[in-house]
Amino acid sequence: MDPSQLLKGVLDLAVLAVLREEDGYGYDVLRRLRKAGLDDVGDASVYGTLRRLYNAGLLTSYVVASDEGPNRKYYALNEPGRERFRESTDTWNSFARTMSELVGETR
Amino acid sequence: MKDTALHPVAADYRVEVARILADLPASEAEEILDDVEVNLSEVVAELDGAVTSESLRARLGTPHEYAAELRAAAGYPPLTRTGPGRLSNFGRAELLCLGLLVTLGAAFVTGIGLGAAKDGQDRWWIFPCLLGLAVEALNALWLRGREPGLPEIAALSVGRRARALGESLRTGRWAEPVRFLMGLQSAWWVARALIVAVLAWVVAGGVWWPVGAGVLALIGSLWLGPRAARDRRLVWAAVPINALVIGAGIGMLGAGQLKPDAGSMEHVSYAPQSQYPPSFHTPEGSPLDPGSLLGTLDGQRLQNIYPFDAQGRPLKDVLLFDQNGKQLGLAGADHDYRCGPAGSELNLVPNRESLPFPQPRLVVEPGGAKCHVEEGTAPFTIAIPVRPGRQPSANPGAVPPPGTQLPQGAPSTAPSAGASGAPNPANRTTLPVPPNSAPPASPANPKTAESAESATAPAQSGS
C-alpha cells in the first residue's frame, strides 16, 4: 500500500504533533517529520498543510530573521490548535486500534 | 551573511508555481509564495551548488506537481483546465504582452503625429490614438483584479528573459552606467511632464495651456513613476505614456516646432504683404485642384511665373486661369520654400501654390543654412520688341541676367541692369537693352531664352 495515500489523511495530525513539541518553520517541520520516519512527505504538502491549519485558526505565526536566507515564518500551536490535536489524537487512536484489530483478526 | 536573492533556477521555479496559484486572492498567494520561496532557498542550500532545473525537479517535482500538491494540502480549490488555471492564464498573459506592444506602438505614432502637427491641420494621429485607447481599455479589463506582481507575465519566457537581461545589466560589466541611468529615473519623471508642457505649447499655444498641462502631467508622472515599479500592472499605463511622450518629442523636433537656436540657423519669417490671406482659395471658395497645378516646362521644374504687361512693366498679384476658369498654380512649389539643415526645414511660405504671381521666393544664401524670403519681383528685366510706330528698341530679344543665373532655382544675385532686388513694381521700368550684350548670352542660357519667349510671345502675336 502506498504510504503517501495513508499520509494524506493524517498529515494534519502529524504536523500538529510536531508543533506541539516545539514551534517550527516550514522546512523545520518537514525535517522533523522525515526524521520521525515519514519519508514520503512532500515539501509542498507540508507547506500547504501549515497554511491551511493557519487559515483555520489553529496556528499562530511569527517571523524570525534568518542568517542564511529569507526570513523564517515560525508556526506555533494556539489553544484551538491544541484542542484540535487532542480530538484528532483520540480519533486516530480509536481508528488505529480498530484497524489493528481488523488487520490482526484477518491475519 | 544574508543573501535574500533566490538562485535563478529556483526563481524560475517559483514563478512557475506562482503562475499556477495566480487565481488565488492576492494576499493569500503572496503568503504562500513567501513560504514557497523559503522552501526553495532551503532546498537550494541542501543541494549545495548543484542546483539545476533537473535537480530541483527531482527533489520537488515539476512546478506544476508542486503547486498542485500545495493547493491540495492547503485546501485551495483544485486546478481546473477551464477555470482561471494554467491554460487560460497563459493565453491572457500573451495577449496582455501583445496589447502592451500595440499600445506602445500606437502611442508612439500618436505622439509623433501630435508633435509634428502644425496649426492643428494634420489630424491623422487620431487613428492610432483611438486604436491605442481601445487596446488599452482591453488591457485594463484583463489587468483588473490581477496580482500586482503579475506572476503570469513573469512566467512567460519573454518575462523570464527580460528579468535575466535586467539582472545581467545590473551586475555585469555595465553595472556602473546602468546604475547611473537608473538613478536618472526620477529626472525622467520630471522631464516627461516638461515635454507634455512643450507639446501643449505647440498644440494650443499661449501660457495657461502649457502651464496647466505641465503641472497636471508632473503630478500624474510623479504619482505613476514610483508606483509602476511596485505594481507591475501600471506598466501597462507607464509604457504607452512614455512612448507617447517620446514620440511627441521626436515629432516636435522633426517638424522643427521648437525653434532652433540662432546659431544653427537663421530664422526667417514671412508675412505676406499682399492683401491675400495666407490660406488662399479660388474665387469659388474651394482650394486649388491639384490637376491645375503647373509642373514642368521643357523638362525643367517651373519655379515661378513673372507676368509683364505689353510695355514690359512687371505685374503684381496676377492670377492665372485656364480655359475652364480653373485657377492655375505651381506644383511642388514648396521645394525652394524650405530652408535650414536637413530635417529641420521651415515651410516659410505656406500655401504657395495658390498665391498670385509672381510668388515670393526663398533665397538661399551661400553656405546653405541661411536664407530669406524675397517678395515676388522678377530677378531680371525684360525688353519688349517694338511695334511699328512705337519707341524704337534696339533688340527684340530679352535681357539675360549676366553671370550664373538661377542657381538651384533661386537667384542669389540680382542682375546688374536692374540693380539689386529687381525692379519694384511701383516704379515700373522698361529697360531697353544695349544691343551688344544680348546676342551672346541669349543662346547660352536656355532659361533666359525661355523667359524671352514668354515675354515676347504676346508682342509677336499682336504685331
Q: Do B45 and B106 sit in the same domain of this protein?
A: no
Q: Do B250 and B284 sit in the same domain of this protein?
A: no
Number of A:B CB contacts under 8 A?
84
Q: Do B227 and B269 sit in the same domain of this protein?
A: no
Q: Give residue B193's domain range.
A: 88-153+175-258
- pLDDT at site B272: 42
Q: Which of B215, B230, B258 finishes a domain? A: B258
Q: Do B64 and B190 sit in the same domain of this protein?
A: no
Residue A60 phi, psi dihedral angles, 5° rounding: -110, 160
Q: The complex's ipTM? A: 0.87
Say if B311 falls within a structural domain: yes
Q: Check B60 against A44: CB less than 8 A apart.
A: yes
Q: Do B419 and B454 sit in the same domain of this protein?
A: yes
DSSP A56: T
Tens-of-pLDDT digits for all 463 residues of chain B? 444 577 888 888 888 888 888 888 888 888 888 888 888 888 888 888 778 888 888 888 888 889 888 888 888 887 655 444 444 555 677 788 888 899 999 999 988 888 887 655 667 888 888 999 999 888 888 787 777 777 667 666 676 677 778 777 777 778 888 888 888 888 999 999 999 998 888 877 778 888 999 999 999 998 988 888 778 788 888 899 999 999 989 988 887 776 543 333 344 444 444 444 444 444 445 566 666 677 767 777 777 888 888 888 888 888 888 888 878 877 654 444 455 544 444 555 566 667 788 877 766 666 555 666 777 777 777 877 666 655 554 444 444 444 444 444 444 444 444 344 444 444 444 444 444 444 444 444 444 444 444 444 444 444 4
Q: Do B389 and B455 sit in the same domain of this protein?
A: yes
Q: Å from B4 to nearest chain A CA?
A: 5
Q: Which of B198, B232, B258 finishes a domain? A: B258
Q: Do B232 and B140 sit in the same domain of this protein?
A: yes
Q: Do B1 and B20 sit in the same domain of this protein?
A: yes
Strand partners, A63: A73
Tell the residue number behind the cell numbers 500624474, with chain if given. Answer: B220
Q: Å from A15 to nearest chain B CA?
A: 12
Q: Which of B48, B79, B110 finishes a domain? A: B79
| Spatial contact of A37 and A17, defined as CB atoms under 8 Å apart | no
- pLDDT at site B348: 58
Q: Do B227 and B365 sit in the same domain of this protein?
A: no
Q: Do B116 and B205 sit in the same domain of this protein?
A: yes
pLDDT tens for A36-95 read: 988 888 899 999 999 999 989 999 989 888 776 677 889 999 999 999 999 999 999 999
Say if B165 falls within a structural domain: no
**Cβ contacts of B67 on chain A, cutoff 8 Å:** 44
Picking from A43, A67, A68, the nearest residue to B39 by CB comes out as A43
- pLDDT at site B423: 44
Q: Check A45 against B69: CB less than 8 A apart.
A: yes
Minimum Cα–Cα distance from A55: chain B residue = B74
State the total domains in chain B: 3
Say if B71 falls within a structural domain: yes
Say if B164 falls within a structural domain: no
Say if B167 falls within a structural domain: no
Q: Check A11 against B35: CB less than 8 A apart.
A: no
* Interface check A16 vs B, CB under 8 A: no
- pLDDT at site B344: 47
Quick one: CATH architecture of A3-106? Answer: Orthogonal Bundle (1.10)
- pLDDT at site B367: 59
Rounded (5°) CA angle B454-B460-B463: 155
Sketch the domain layout of chain A as residue ranges.
3-106
Minimum Cα–Cα distance from B1: chain A residue = A67
A-contacting residues of B 371-430, CB under 8 Å? none
Q: Do B100 and B234 sit in the same domain of this protein?
A: yes
Q: Do B268 and B339 sit in the same domain of this protein?
A: yes
